[in-house]
Structure 1
Amino acid sequence: MAVRRDGSLMRDKGQPSRGSRIAAAIAVGVLLGCVLAFLYPHGLFGAASRARIASISDLQSGSSSGELPERFNLMKSDIASLSEKNVALKNQIRVLNERLRSAEQGKDHAHNQFSALGDQHKAGPFGTVKGLRTNPTVMPDESVNPRLAKLLDEVAIGKELIVALANSNVREMLEVWFTSIKRVGIPNYLVVALDDEIENFCKVNDVPVYKRDPDQDIDAVGKSGGNHAVSGLKFRILREFLQLGYSVLLSDVDIVYLQNPFDYLYRDSDVESMSDGHNNYTAYGYNDVFDEPAMGWARYAHTMRIWVYNSGFFYMRPTIPSIELLDRVAGRLSRENAWDQAVFNEELFFPSHPGYDGLHAAKRTMDFYLFMNSKVLFKMVRKNAKLSKLKPVIVHVNYHPDKLPRMKAIVEFYTNGKKDALQPFPDGSEW
């Protein structure tokens, strides 16, 4: 025990005591405090505060010299630039979504075509069999019109666009037409100018425009023709669009756009058209009974009827049946003194029979409340509290000759919220 105690005493003698270490630390702290007090008599935080005050003073002095407003202007400019970039980004996203949708549809179409045209198969169970409804698209041929092909590559989205033909006779209606398209935000549209005045008018108003190469026959009608004459030209002109591989939403200029029509198309047929019908029966078809009393027991003959498709607003895919339809209609109109809408429907609906081979084209009727004709609007919708709240995609003033004032009234009613804008007009037209 004595030895351990002595050893412990020896170790303590060779090291400083705990009290001396504490005293040394206190001395160093006091010395450091004195040095800092000498170097920073107003304290460390006082220096930081003075720096902030100096910064504020500089900002205030800058404000008096005009620097602050300049900074605000720069900030506003940055915000405006970011807003523009945001809009551009949204447009790019929309384009990408359109292309993605087209690609998905193309994939489904290709699969269906392969299934239908591949090896023969037995019919499936009852209720499961479905035939091919969508014809394959043609191979694009840019040699048909290289200039138009280049323009369509810039204008079209997802290989589709709105196309309208116009000459100077419809200039005022054309302005309402493209103004409504711009208001909705539809980028993929094109005016086919039939004279120099309309071409210049479109360029001044930043409207995509295309003027064909000189064609004596077409130019004669395009420059001086009325509505029906110009309407007949479209079947010849649209052929090139389809040959180039583009789907076309053909539009007359007596139409007001309230939504983007490409958001409401099915794209499962060769021709997708609005109807002149005014209810489910007339627009989509019905069983009409013809009564002939002289036939006695067989006096009632059942017929299938549908009101005609409107040749002033239809969507056409670039397929062989679509191009054949255009050729048939254009050919007949060049040989006959006929109304283009009547010929359009006859070639589309008449079946094959002795001496005539019918057109094998798939067709779809558009929703007549969304793609609305002016009879539906002025005779029914405006008088119905519930229907008047519905916002159509387009309204086509096809039933009335006073087109321009009714188009302006439609804009006032649906776009500007003027509830009584449609009231001054009669249901029909005054002779």
Structure 2
Amino acid sequence: MMAGRRDALLTREKGQSSIGSRIFIAVVVGVLLGCVFAFFSSSSTPNFPHFHNPKMVSSSCESPEQVNALKVDILSAKEKNSELKKQVKGLMERLRFAEQGKGHAQEQFVVLGENHKAGPFGTVKGLRTNPPVAPDESVNPRLAKILEEVAIYKELVVALANSNVKEMLQLWFTNIKKVGIPNYLVVALDDEIEEFCKLNDVPIYRRDPDQGVDAVAKTGGNHAVSGLKFRILREFLQLGYSVLLSDVDIVYLQNPFDHLYRDSDVESMSDGHNNMTAYGYNDVFDEPSMGWARYAHTMRIWVYNSGFFYIRPTLPSIELLDRVADRLSKDPKSWDQAVFNEELFFPSHPGYDGLHAARRTMDMFLFMNSKVLFKTVRKDAKLKRLKPVIVHVNYHPDKFARMKAIVDFYLSGKQDALDHFPDGSD
């Protein structure tokens, strides 16, 4: 028994010494390899002068070649720093959208994945937010490069303008700058606006020539230009960007991106002027000839304003733009706002497939139309103290005068700036 134990111990000691030898050999080999790697790395790395104290370096000792080499190094470092900033920005955008998409993905899994039993009463929720499309830069590489520089978190304000609205455009971007909104872009529709924006350091995008469309862009009035935006916006969405589409008869008083929900395909301001008209109401239609059944209940809501809406890069959003652009091309006399709302709201019925898009109405006191301001807000002491995000002068033809008055009232503190205007138009 003792002899057996001794043999076992000797065998174990031999095994341990063998393992120790192997470890020692591995360490030695690792050190040698490290030395070889360090030698070749140092030999392949260019030698730069190291100065422990910059004050002790004499400029007279530096040759022009050294100075030029240092300048090249500094420029290279700046370029690398700029590239790193872009990468960090891209990572931040991905992180934000990953967090935002996490909940959306969970909702989609629940709704589109395996069949699940419904939860307890009051806990069941359907899918509300459609996922964004995969960006396709091949659609417009030049625009993609501009958007990469201008957009923040893949979002930006976009306005279309030609020389017919130059005066309002200047007031538009002046207040955008004053409020501190960096992510905005003007789609210049003619040479004059392009040069005007460049002179005023305004980010611009000039579309490539397009026969027929360009004729409307350069000479068309408000409604004609308004119809173009649905075709132009499509490329922004295909590139993966969310757009806050803006007419130029809008005064910006706060950053709108701080007040969006981003839970729908389309988030739009309303032409409504109170809670009922803006957010919907049950309107009773009376037909006395029907006797007992004379009263018919109808659901009504005032239209969304096609001059200010936030649209996400989803398939329903792109389908909406295609539908509206197609109808406007076939019937140029159609009003783009009417077509926009019909496509958003009309349900599927025999012979027609409705659009399956999620929509949200913006807060009418934050995203305010000029009827709300001049008919209600300016006459109410409490409402006058509220500061809207934007005011859209959509109900009045004397747009520029009212825009300047809105700036004077909200930004310059002139309490009587709005008083002399009538509720409506003369």
User: Which deviates further from its counterpart, 100-109 or 337-346?
Assistant: 100-109
User: Which deviates further from its counterpart, 99-108 or 202-211?
Assistant: 99-108
> How far apart, in 2, do the equivalents of 1:371 and 1:95 lie?
30
Unaligned runs of 5+ in 1: 1-92
**Could you say which residue in structure 2 is the equivalent of 1:270?**
265
Q: Do the aligned partners of residues 142 and 184 (structure 1) sit closer, same or farther apart at CA in structure 2, a change above 3 Å counting?
A: same
Q: Deviations over 1:96-126 (max 9, x none)?
A: 9877654422222222223322211111111
Superposition deviation, residue 292 in structure 1: 0.7
> How far apart, in 1, do the equivalents of 2:165 and 2:90 lie?
31
Letter in 2 for 1:276: D
Answer whether contact 1:177 1:256 (CA < 8 A) is retained. yes
Residue 231, structure 1, aligned to residue 226, structure 2: yes
> How far apart, in 1, do the equivalents of 2:101 and 2:414 lie?
43
**Could you say which residue in structure 2 is the equivalent of 1:397?**
393
**Could you say which residue in structure 2 is the equivalent of 1:129?**
124
Q: Helix, strand or coil: the match of 2:117?
A: coil
Q: Deviations over 1:253-305 (max 9, x none)?
A: 00000000000000000000000001110000000000111111111110000
> How far apart, in 2, do the equivalents of 1:100 and 1:426 lie?
49
Q: Helix, strand or coil: the match of 1:250?
A: strand
Answer whether contact 2:343 2:355 (CA < 8 A) is retained. yes
> How far apart, in 2, do the equivalents of 1:383 and 1:396 lie?
18
**Could you say which residue in structure 2 is the equivalent of 1:51?**
none
Answer whether contact 2:264 2:360 (CA < 8 A) is retained. yes
Identity among equivalent pairs (%): 83
Answer whether contact 1:95 1:157 (CA < 8 A) is retained. no
Q: Do the aligned partners of residues 344 and 408 (structure 1) sit closer, same or farther apart at CA in structure 2, a change above 3 Å counting?
A: same
**Could you say which residue in structure 1 is the equivalent of 2:421?**
425
Residue 112, structure 1, aligned to residue 82, structure 2: no
Q: Deviations over 1:2-60 (max 9, x none)?
A: xxxxxxxxxxxxxxxxxxxxxxxxxxxxxxxxxxxxxxxxxxxxxxxxxxxxxxxxxxx
Answer whether contact 2:270 2:305 (CA < 8 A) is retained. yes
> How far apart, in 1, do the equivalents of 2:104 and 2:169 lie?
36
Residue 220, structure 1, aligned to residue 199, structure 2: no
Superposition deviation, residue 143 in structure 1: 0.4
Letter in 2 for 1:358: G
Q: Deviations over 1:53-103 (max 9, x none)?
A: xxxxxxxxxxxxxxxxxxxxxxxxxxxxxxxxxxxxxxxx99998776544
> How far apart, in 2, do the equivalents of 1:404 and 1:102 lie?
38
Residue 160, structure 1, aligned to residue 155, structure 2: yes
The partner residue of 2:334 within 333, 338, 358 is: 338
> How far apart, in 2, do the equivalents of 1:400 and 1:94 lie?
41
How many residues are treated as equivalent by the alignment? 339
Alignment of structure 1 residues 173-252 onto 2, 5 Å:
173-252=168-247
Q: Deviations over 1:320-345 (max 9, x none)?
A: 00000000000000011200000000
> How far apart, in 1, do the equivalents of 2:384 and 2:97 lie?
33
Answer whether contact 1:278 1:375 (CA < 8 A) is retained. yes
**Could you say which residue in structure 2 is the equivalent of 1:140?**
135
> How far apart, in 2, do the equivalents of 1:348 and 1:248 lie?
17
Structure 1-normalised TM-score? 0.77
> How far apart, in 2, do the equivalents of 1:317 and 1:113 lie?
17
> How far apart, in 2, do the equivalents of 1:162 and 1:105 lie?
20
**Could you say which residue in structure 2 is the equivalent of 1:255?**
250
The partner residue of 1:357 within 353, 356, 360 is: 353
Answer whether contact 1:273 1:366 (CA < 8 A) is retained. yes
Answer whether contact 2:251 2:406 (CA < 8 A) is retained. yes
The partner residue of 2:344 within 344, 348, 366 is: 348
Q: Deviations over 1:206-257 (max 9, x none)?
A: 0000000000121100000000000000000000000000000000000000
Answer whether contact 2:110 2:116 (CA < 8 A) is retained. no
**Could you say which residue in structure 1 is the equivalent of 2:11?**
none
Q: Helix, strand or coil: the match of 2:283?
A: strand
Structure 2-normalised TM-score? 0.78
Unaligned runs of 5+ in 2: 1-87
Letter in 2 for 1:391: K
The partner residue of 2:402 within 406, 409, 412 is: 406
Q: Do the aligned partners of residues 354 and 278 (structure 1) sit closer, same or farther apart at CA in structure 2, a change above 3 Å counting?
A: same
Letter in 1 for 2:418: L
Q: Do the aligned partners of residues 98 and 369 (structure 1) sit closer, same or farther apart at CA in structure 2, a change above 3 Å counting?
A: farther
> How far apart, in 2, do the equivalents of 1:269 and 1:405 lie?
35
> How far apart, in 2, do the equivalents of 1:405 and 1:104 lie?
44
Q: Helix, strand or coil: the match of 1:263?
A: helix
**Could you say which residue in structure 2 is the equivalent of 1:326?**
321
Answer whether contact 1:165 1:252 (CA < 8 A) is retained. yes
Q: Helix, strand or coil: the match of 1:427?
A: coil
Letter in 1 for 2:240: G
Q: Do the aligned partners of residues 232 and 351 (structure 1) sit closer, same or farther apart at CA in structure 2, a change above 3 Å counting?
A: same
> How far apart, in 2, do the equivalents of 1:391 and 1:244 lie?
34
Answer whether contact 2:286 2:296 (CA < 8 A) is retained. yes
The root-mean-square deviation of aligned C-alpha atoms, in Å, is 1.7
Q: Do the aligned partners of residues 235 and 274 (structure 1) sit closer, same or farther apart at CA in structure 2, a change above 3 Å counting?
A: same
> How far apart, in 2, do the equivalents of 1:270 and 1:168 lie?
32
Q: Do the aligned partners of residues 424 and 250 (structure 1) sit closer, same or farther apart at CA in structure 2, a change above 3 Å counting?
A: same
